[in-house]
Amino acid sequence: MLTVAIPKGSLLKDSIASFAAIGLDFSAFLEKGNRQLQITDPTGQAKAMLVRNGDVPVYVESGQAHVGIVGYDVIREKKPQVAQILDLGFGGCRLSVAVQKSSPYQSALDLPAHSRVASKFVQCARDYFRELDLPVDIVPLYGSVELGPITGMSEAIVDLVATGRTLKENGLIETDLLFESTARAIAHPLSYRLNTYGLSDRLRILKEQLANN
Amino acid sequence: MLTVAIPKGSLLKDSIASFAAIGLDFSAFLEKGNRQLQITDPTGQAKAMLVRNGDVPVYVESGQAHVGIVGYDVIREKKPQVAQILDLGFGGCRLSVAVQKSSPYQSALDLPAHSRVASKFVQCARDYFRELDLPVDIVPLYGSVELGPITGMSEAIVDLVATGRTLKENGLIETDLLFESTARAIAHPLSYRLNTYGLSDRLRILKEQLANN
């Protein structure tokens, strides 16, 4: 049976709408009080697993899910061996460098060498500063990264920005844009090539629908 | 000013009680609707940062916090350069190997070589299976690890078990115990040695209080 990995959290609702557009109904995940992590489409054509956004590529890479939806930021950070099929357009945000508004830094290049940069996007941050040829210490923080500059733990952060409200509330401003991110449909390369359970057909339909909207 | 790192989540309440026992009041973090991530004790003796359990050692290691409370599981997984001062006794749980109840495996050693083991405790899992001299593929999953064996993604998991309810609900049983975990007080080694802001005095008092309870 076609198996899909759907991300919990902010991408959930639009992900379910994307599958609905190609005839697969996983709306049971949206029901209040739902505790199920695996459901089957009412027509019995496919099943879905509800997993963390960051875990989606792991399921797809291993072939345990044939297709999944995940933020581009995760793809950039984890570099999974999956086929990147479609930009779904929703879930827009950006990965940015931010510093304290009161600091003298107007871009990442203004940071003193060996500054500390807090981020949960350790690889992306490392790659970005390496390209700038600016040696910094990346401090891995997995929650409330904005505390970094406030507490003096780090001179800057690299973090996802959607509305910018969290930055503003914490007196931070963006200086550099690493990349823009949106939700992507990813597939297990072999399943996609072999059109397993009509996977590539369905994704082609989804692509056409996106183009018409 | 003495600065402490307090973990969000399940260790929060008891952590605040531990500091209260040595005269530091951070109960404002427990107020409903609290959005503050940094507060000062009403007597002005110390300030506290509210951070993720997994981030506590990062703050303490860098000296940004002089002392913090964190689960022993995090210390084992991340191996931070901090002084492990006290076992606080609360937050008890264990890191275990679990498999599907219906599987033929009764211990980790029954797993076929090159089985997949899902875990967010990648280092602990790797170390454990290396000691067993059993080659397995560790699959890093950061949410709902129990989905691993259910979906066929992995033969086993290595995960924290508190009550055992999640395992039971998902048809899994524990086979091996890696270690027991409780909350620990950790300190920046130099701050502890130098008794910065009376840090070691306070921790000695906390130790005596624990011994008397």
**Does this chain's domain A2-91+182-212 share its CATH topology with A93-181?**
yes
Question: Please, what is the average pLDDT of chain A?
Answer: 95
Domains of chain A: which residue ranges?
A: 2-91+182-212, 93-181
B212 has pLDDT over 90: no
Token pair of B114 as six digits:
């090159």
> What predicted TM-score, i.e. pTM, was given to this entire model?
0.91
For chain A, say whether B160 makes contact (Cβ under 8 Å). Answer: no
- Nearest C-alpha neighbor of B22 from the set B45, B1, B38: B45
Q: What is the pLDDT of residue A123?
A: 98
Q: What is the pLDDT of residue A35?
A: 82
Sheet architecture: strand order including A2-7: A38-40, A46-51, A2-7, A67-71, A183-187, A83-87
Looking at the partner chain, which of A50, A64, A152 has a beta carbon nearest the beta carbon of B152?
A64
Q: What is the pLDDT of residue B213?
A: 75
B208 has pLDDT over 90: yes
Q: What is the pLDDT of residue A174?
A: 97
CB within 8 Å of chain B, chain A residues 26-55: 37-38, 49-52, 54-55
Q: Using CA coordinates, name the residue in chain A closest to B56.
A: A141
- Nearest C-alpha neighbor of A188 from the set A86, A87, A88, A81: A81
A52/B116 CB distance under 8 A? no
B126 has pLDDT over 90: yes
A190, amino acid identity: L
- Is B77 in contact with B119 (CB distance < 8 Å)? no
**Alpha-carbon distance B140 to nearest alpha carbon in chain A (angstroms):** 8
Token pair of A75 as six digits:
């793809």
The hierarchical CATH code for the domain B2-91+182-212 is 3.40.190.10
Question: Please, what is the average pLDDT of chain B?
Answer: 95
- Kindly state the average pLDDT of the residues A45-54: 96
What is the distance between the alpha carbons of residues B159 and A176, in angstroms, rounded to a whole number? 38
Q: What is the pLDDT of residue B36?
A: 86
A94 has pLDDT over 90: yes
A33 has pLDDT over 90: no
A213 has pLDDT over 80: no
- Nearest C-alpha neighbor of B61 from the set B196, B207, B191: B191
A193 has pLDDT over 90: yes
**Alpha-carbon distance B171 to nearest alpha carbon in chain A (angstroms):** 14
A130, amino acid identity: R
Q: What is the pLDDT of residue B34?
A: 84
Give the DSSP letter string of chain B.
-EEEEEE-GGGHHHHHHHHHTTT---GGGGSTT---SEEE-TTSSEEEEEE-GGGHHHHHHTTSSSEEEEEHHHHHHH--S-EEEEE---S-EEEEEEEETTSS-SSGGGSPTT-EEEES-HHHHHHHHHHTT---EEEE--S-TTHHHHHTS-SEEEEEESSSHHHHHTTEEEEEEEEEE-EEEEE-HHHHHTTGGGHHHHHHHHHHHHHH-
B33 has pLDDT over 90: no
- Nearest C-alpha neighbor of B138 from the set B160, B159, B115: B115
Q: What is the pLDDT of residue A36?
A: 86
Q: What is the pLDDT of residue A212?
A: 86
- Kindly state the average pLDDT of the residues B14-24: 95
pLDDT in tens, B140-186: 999 989 999 988 899 999 999 999 999 999 999 999 999 999 999 99
* Contacts A64 to B, Cβ<8 Å: 151-153
Of A83-97, A183-197, B23-37, least confident by mean pLDDT is B23-37
- Kindly state the average pLDDT of the residues A174-190: 98
pLDDT in tens, A119-154: 999 999 999 999 999 999 999 999 999 999 988 899
B64/A153 CB distance under 8 A? yes
Confidence label for B131 from pLDDT (cuts 50, 70 and 90): very high
Looking at the partner chain, which of B8, B58, B144 has a beta carbon nearest the beta carbon of A141?
B58
- Tell me: domain B93-181, CATH 3.40.50.720, correct? no
Q: Using CA coordinates, name the residue in chain B closest to A150.
A: B38
Q: What is the pLDDT of residue A129?
A: 98
Confidence label for A49 from pLDDT (cuts 50, 70 and 90): very high
**Cβ neighbours of residue A179 closer than 8 Å, sequence gap 6 or more:** A72, A73, A76, A94, A95, A124
